[in-house]
Structures are given as structure tokens and as C-alpha cells.
């Protein structure tokens, strides 16, 4: 059955903030980082940063990771304040998991094009068309979308979540069509119905970028995030042998980190937002990393700067708090996911 979507194109559902240049000298940055570390102790705060954050912000974080790792850290922290260096839906997830804590998002413009691609009305219309289906919401969704869903998943555990749903049940997979494609291939499920949303950053990682990097580095290991715009064509090429099966991987960002740690390869092409390169280079100075598309930069993630983290800690705002009723419903979907990992 075709889905009737609102007529607003996906690209018009969000506003990309400009990427601010930070003119600080290394010395000024160090001073700000020291002040943040000091204030963090004063405020009994923990700083969680996503893999796509600016390098200097990752450096002050207590934990750097993907959406799943960050939500697990949020769930177990005993800090009173969580400074979330990521985007809005991630701060919402932390607020849902820790209703008694203050969750700060240093810049409220940190949205997400993927989360913006589905509205509550669209999801309800879709559910009404498939009343027996199970709704699996990627973690990149708003709290109110999670509240209308049965399960949550991340790119790291989507396969496991799908495997936990009885074979005969149709699955409405929202909102990323590329991840839905990868998971359907990996689980061999024919009844995954994909919502047509996508992330504008990962969508920009195209088959021609992969072709170019492989031409320049034919023996490289290719690591692609399942949200990428090239995944369907790359998977098809793996199946027909055009891409080397033993050197092509579809991985979440944490999956990439783990894979690189265990691989004996020395060179990797990394298909995801370029912020992760900081962590990879830092962890593996003996290995070489090339972005598949160096322009794959998330302006939402880059809104968070050291100055804004500092201000958040000083004034304990801006705060993200999910209304209790929505949080209670959304938590069911998140807990079901966390029980499976
Ligand atoms: S990289 Fe894409 S999915 Fe991730 S926060 Fe940015 S817009 Fe959203």
C-alpha cells in the first residue's frame, strides 16, 4: 500500500544552521576546556558527546559514542546534570531515560534532518493503514514518534530488534529507507515496509564517491554506515562481486570503531559523517583513514562549540525535558530495545 505523505518535501522540513568558524588559538581552546572540566565537577555533571561532534568538544567529554552507547551511558550515570553534545532527539532520549536529571543541549538548533522527515500525523496515518504491523522507530526520531512506536532501534542493533519480532508480523520501519534496506537484506525479511526518509548528510555519500576512493586506493577496507545513500547500490555490488565482499562492511559508527580495532588492515575508507575521523585517528595513529565524502558534515552536530558547552554549564540551560506522558510511552519502545542489547 502506498503511503500518503504530507506534500511538504523532506528538504523543507528543517533549517540547516550555518557552521560557525571557531577562531580560538590552541591555547584559548585549552583554557576553555580546563574551565569546562572544572565546572563539570562543580555542577556534578557528565558530558556525553556523539562521534560526529567537533574534535575539541569530543576532547572534554566523559564518553564519546554513538546513539546507543550514549543512551546506555545516560541510563546509568549518577551525575545530576547531563550535558548532551549531540542533537535534540538524543537529548530527548536522555531525558526519557533519566527523568530526575537535568539534560542540557548547548544549542537548541541542533536538530536532525532524518528525525524531521516524519510527523506524528504521517505515522498515525501509516499505522491506520497497517493496523497489525509492528512499528520499529530508528532512534533518530522525536520523542512523540517513539511514543507511537513499539520498538526503538539504532544502526548498531536494528538487526537484533528485527530478529526479535515474529516472522509473520509486518514491520513498519521508520524513518530511514537506506537502513531499512540494509536490515531487510541482512535479516532476509520480506515484510519490512520502509518509510521513505533519509539523512541529508549520509544521503550525500554516493556510489560515485565509493567508486572514486576505490580507484585511488584499490586495496582499502570500505566501511559504510547503513544510512548512506550508496548502500543499496554497494550491497548489490557486493552480491554480484563488483565490490570485494571480504573488504566491504556496513557498520554503525561503534561497529566501525570495533572493526578497526580488530582488523589487521592499515587503510580504511570511512563512509559516514567526518567527525568520527578524530576518534579513529586518535585511537589508531598507525592506521590511515579516508572519508568517502569529505563534504559529509552535519551542520546540526557542529552547532555545539566549547563556548556553548561552557555557557550551558555556567547557567544550567538550555534544558530539554520531555513531557511525562510522552516520556512514559516512548520509554517502552526504548526499554524494549535496551533489553535486547
Ligand atoms: S548526521 Fe544525519 S542523522 Fe545524524 S544528526 Fe546529522 S542529520 Fe541527523
Looking at the predicted structure, is the pLDDT value of residue 236 above 90? Answer: no
How many Å apart are CA 76 and CA 93, to the nearest integer? 13
- For residue 6, pLDDT over 90 is answered with no
Write out pLDDT tens, residues 135-152. Answer: 999 999 999 999 999 999
Whether 125 is in a domain gets the answer no
Nearest CA to ligand 1 atom 2: 199
Share of the chain above pLDDT 70, in %: 98
Which string of DSSP letters, residue by residue, matches 3-48? ----SS-GGGG--PPP-------HHHHHHHHHHHHHHHHHTTEEEE
* Same-domain status, 107 and 24: yes
**C-alpha 34 – ligand 1 centre gap (Å):** 29
Give the tens place of pLDDT for each residue, 212-234.
999 999 999 999 999 888 888 88
> Quick check: CB of 201 below 6 Å from ligand 1?
yes
Q: Whose alpha carbon is nearest atom 5 of ligand 1?
A: 112
113 CA from centroid of ligand 1 (Å)? 6
- Look up residue 162 and give its three cell numbers: 528485527
- State which ligand 1 atom lies nearest to the alpha carbon of 112: 8
Check if 300 has its Cβ closer than 6 Å to any atom of ligand 1: yes
In tens, the pLDDT along 244-285 reads: 888 999 999 999 999 999 999 999 999 999 999 999 999 999
Q: Nearest C-alpha to atom 6 of ligand 1 is from which residue?
A: 298
* Number of domains the chain is built from: 2
**Residue 225 domain flag:** yes
Is 341 a residue whose pLDDT tops 80? no
Answer yes or no: do 306 and 267 share one domain.
no
For position 244, which CATH number holds? 3.40.50.10800
Same domain? For 34 and 107 the reply is yes
Please give the number of the atom of ligand 1 that sits closest to the Cα of 87: 5
pLDDT of 1 higher than 60: no
213 and 276 housed in the same domain: yes
Q: Is residue 341 part of a domain?
A: no
Domain for residue 231, yes or no?
yes
Whole domain around residue 240: which residue ranges? 205-291
The three-state secondary structure class of 158 is helix
Question: Does the pLDDT value for residue 126 go beyond 90?
Answer: yes
Check if 224 has its Cβ closer than 6 Å to any atom of ligand 1.
no
Amino acid at each position: 500500500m502506498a503511503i500518503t505523505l504530507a506534500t511538504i518535501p523532506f528538504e523543507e522540513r528543517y533549517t540547516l544552521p550555518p557552521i560557525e568558524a571557531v577562531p580560538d588559538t590552541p591555547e584559548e581552546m585549552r583554557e576553555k576546556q580546563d574551565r569546562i572540566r572544572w565546572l563539570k565537577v562543580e555542577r556534578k555533571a557528565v558530558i556525553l558527546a556523539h562521534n560526529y561532534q567537533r574534535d575539541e568538544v569530543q576532547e572534554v567529554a566523559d564518553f564519546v559514542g554513538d546513539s546507543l552507547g550514549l543512551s546506555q551511558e545516560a541510563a546509568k550515570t549518577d551525575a545530576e546534570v547531563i550535558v548532551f553534545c549531540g542533537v535534540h532527539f538524543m537529548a530527548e532520549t536522555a531525558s526519557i531515560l533519566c527523568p530526575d536529571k537535568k539534560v542540557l543541549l548547548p544549542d537548541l538548533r541542533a536538530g536532525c534532518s532524518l528525525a524531521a522527515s516524519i510527523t506524528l500525523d504521517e505515522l498515525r496515518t501509516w499505522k491506520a493503514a497497517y493496523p497489525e504491523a509492528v512499528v520499529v522507530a530508528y532512534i533518530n526520531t522525536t520523542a512523540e514518534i517513539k511514543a507511537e512506536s513499539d520498538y526503538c532501534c539504532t544502526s548498531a542493533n536494528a538487526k537484533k530488534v528485527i530478529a526479535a519480532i515474529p516472522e509473520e508480523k509486518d514491520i513498519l520501519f521508520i524513518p530511514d529507507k537506506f537502513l531499512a534496506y540494509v536490515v531487510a537484506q541482512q535479516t532476509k525479511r520480506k515484510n519490512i515496509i520502509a518509510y521513505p526518509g533519509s539523512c541529508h548528510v549520509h544521503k550525500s555519500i554516493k556510489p560515485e564517491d565509493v567508486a572514486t576512493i576505490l580507484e585511488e586506493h584499490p586495496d582499502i577496507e570500505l566501511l559504510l554506515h547503513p544510512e548512506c545513500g550508496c548502500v543499496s547500490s554497494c550491497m548489490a555490488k557486493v552480491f554480484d562481486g563488483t565490490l570485494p565482499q571480504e573488504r566491504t562492511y556496513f557498520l554503525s559508527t561503534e561497529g566501525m570503531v570495533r572493526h578497526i580495532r580488530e582488523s589487521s588492515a592499515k587503510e580504511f575508507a570511512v563512509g559516514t559523517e567526518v567527525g568520527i575521523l578524530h576518534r579513529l585517528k586518535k585511537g589508531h595513529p598507525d592506521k590511515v583513514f579516508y572519508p568517502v565524502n569529505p563534504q559529509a558534515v552535519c551542520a546540526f552536530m557542529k552547532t555545539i562549540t566549547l563556548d556553548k558547552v561552557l555557557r550551558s554549564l555556567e547557567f544550567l540551560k538550555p534544558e530539554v525535558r520531555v513531557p511525562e506522558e510522552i516520556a512514559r510511552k516512548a520509554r517502552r519502545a526504548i526499554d524494549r530495545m535496551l533489553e535486547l542489547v
